[in-house]
Structure 1
Amino acid sequence: MVTNNKFTLRTENREDQTIVFVGGEFDLEVATQMRAVMEPLIELVDRRLTLNLQDLKYIDSTGIGILISIVKARHARSAPFDVEHVPTSIRKLFDMTGITPFLAKAE
């Protein structure tokens, strides 16, 4: 679990799925922490990797870049990946940048 004044990151393992709960502000300041948590999870190809963004308040271009790198890495490994519970304001940003189709049940 990663927690600071403006960002939280928590993982939860279920049967064949790892869910990463991302909350607060996902920006350049927390990028290193996010990468450190995600890198080993990306390699777990026998498990679905899901990002739950329900509590995400803000994401900048660095955060979007990390999401895209996760999509690419999971796709290259033919490993299941998806993003769930995206807040409306964040979904609008994803729609404007054109990444929404890559985040829904990307495999």
Structure 2
Amino acid sequence: MNINLSIDVATTDNQTTLTIKGEIDAYTAPLLKEKLLPATAKEAEKIVVDLKDVTYMDSTGLGVFISALKSTKEHGSTLTLVNLQERVHRLFKITSLDSIISIDTTTRGGE
């Protein structure tokens, strides 16, 4: 099994940034959950997830973000997704998750 996902975690004062590269699916979602959920459990933590290099995501990935959102509500932290590619953003729109998860569409990586 080839896990095509890398996650870099950077932590500063009250902010955790996860930079994700690859595909989020049934095989890689557990790794994402393992890295993302502990950050959401920190009170008043701001979690930013950079999805610029995520080329594919399925419903399993959406489930991880829903779990993370629930955790932020319980712990008083916030979750923002940034730099979504169009096909990934479309998945959030189709499921109406873009109305409950903060997605910053103005922050685009322009390198």
Pick the TM interval, shorter chain: 0.7 to 0.9
Q: Displacement of 1:5 after TM fit?
A: 5.4
Cα 1:89–1:22, aligned 2, differ >3 Å: closer, same or farther? Answer: same
CA contact (8 A) 1:45 1:80 kept: no
**Counterpart code for 2:18:** V
- Give the TM-score of the pair, scaled to structure 2: 0.82
CA contact (8 A) 2:21 2:52 kept: yes
Distance in 1 (alpha carbons) for counterparts of 2:76 and 2:3? 36
Task: Identify, as 1 or 2, the structure richer in helix.
Answer: 1
Q: Deviations over 1:3-44 (max 9, x none)?
A: x65211111123321101111100110122122212321211
4+ residue segments displaced more than 6 Å: none
CA-based RMSD: 1.6
Aligned equivalent of 2:99, options 91, 98, 101: 101
Structure 2 stretches of 5 or more lacking a match? Answer: 104-111
Q: What is the match of residue 35 of structure 1?
A: 33
Distance in 2 (alpha carbons) for counterparts of 1:42 and 1:80? 7
**Structure 1 residues 61-70 or 9-18, which shifts more?**
9-18
- Give the TM-score of the pair, scaled to structure 1: 0.85
User: What is the aligned length?
Assistant: 102
Q: Percent identity?
A: 22
